[in-house]
Amino acid sequence: IHDFDINDGVERYYVVNGSVEKIKDKFTPEQRKHILAFRSSKHKLMYLKAERIITAFIEKENYLPFYNDIYPHYIDLFCGYVYYLQHGVLHAHLPWKYSYDRLDVSGEVISTNYEAENFTENYFFPDSALIKSKMPRYDFVDCNARAQDGLILFAPSWRKYLITHKGEGGWSADRDKFINSDYFKKTQDFLNSDALAKLLEENDMTLEFKLHPIFSVYKDCFKINNPRVSFAADRPISDYKIFITDYSSFVFDFVYLNRAIVYFMPDLLQFKSGMNDYRELDIPFEKGFGELTQNTTELCDALHRIIDNSGEAISPYAERTNSFFLDTEKNSRDRIYEALK
């Protein structure tokens, strides 16, 4: 959308995974002429002609219109470059998946000083392949916005071991496995606990719970009885005073905002066993931006410490956010455009 109206002689197409009809209202009538259905004949032809492929997910099945057994017959016809428009900050330890020699990418967007070092030293990217622009969404995040007092966001990530990828962006739920997991049981316990209810009531606070989009199929499994707890509203992330998460890279949005953070890992044992593809982080919890908790008691105690500090991050976590991001300039989209040129 940022680049579409630039008069530079470039043809741009947007590829939709799923129904074009369902998303067409997000585009102007002129932009709709440039929408392609994923794996359609036109998508395949445009892919082979393209000079630049921009993808939000790095796995080939998310951007390559050909199946693996077909693409070798066409691979010599493609002379373009693939760019990974990261939608998060990589902090899961995944060198076997994301190292430069494992990817068919020419460039990757990064947002932080940490990534600049981590990608070159541990993932063997040449510095020239790193687009030091920050993620485009940070153009819309106001670092100076004042949080709403008393508003907490709880947004855990998804778990690979509790849902099955069907390919082409689809997911198959297993409700019995999900509701019997430590992830669900301890999360449900926290949301409805007397300790949380007392904390929220005594401090006149509310908590909003945001499921990862991949886990949206499990939303109705959660029964929330606390009137001060609800599913997340559609609001700017800058509204939230305190953020609770696990290993989600969503945490970096709140680092960007300098908000107080608590980690909640109800299934730390399963995580360390590698059930979620990886078992360690490039930024381990002990070097993270908040306390690590594993149950309701620990989590509420950590929240109390933040509330007693006027809702602000406590030391040493407050200091760790300084200079983490490249900058706070609002020109990420311009920088990406220049890099692609």
Kindly state the average pLDDT of the residues 259-279: 92
Write down the pLDDT at residue 167.
64
Secondary structure (3-state) at 244:
strand
pLDDT tens figures, 37-69: 999 999 999 999 999 999 988 989 899 999 989
Q: Residue 236: name the closest of 136, 111, 333, 140 by CA.
A: 140
User: What is d(CA 242, CA 225) in angstroms, rounded to the nearest whole number?
Assistant: 21
pLDDT at 31 over 90: yes
- pTM (two decimals): 0.85
Q: What is the pLDDT of residues 306-329, one digit of tens each?
A: 999 999 999 999 998 888 999 989
- Compute the half-sphere exposure of residue 207: CA atoms within 13 Å on the CB side of its CA: 24
The yes-or-no verdict on residue 168 having pLDDT over 80 is no
Beta-carbon contacts of 130 under 8 Å, excluding residues fewer than 6 positions away, are 107, 108, 110, 115, 116, 119, 120
- pLDDT digit string (tens) for 141-155? 888 899 998 999 999
What confidence tens digit (pLDDT) does each residue in 90-110 have?
A: 998 999 999 999 999 999 999
What was the pLDDT predicted at 169?
59
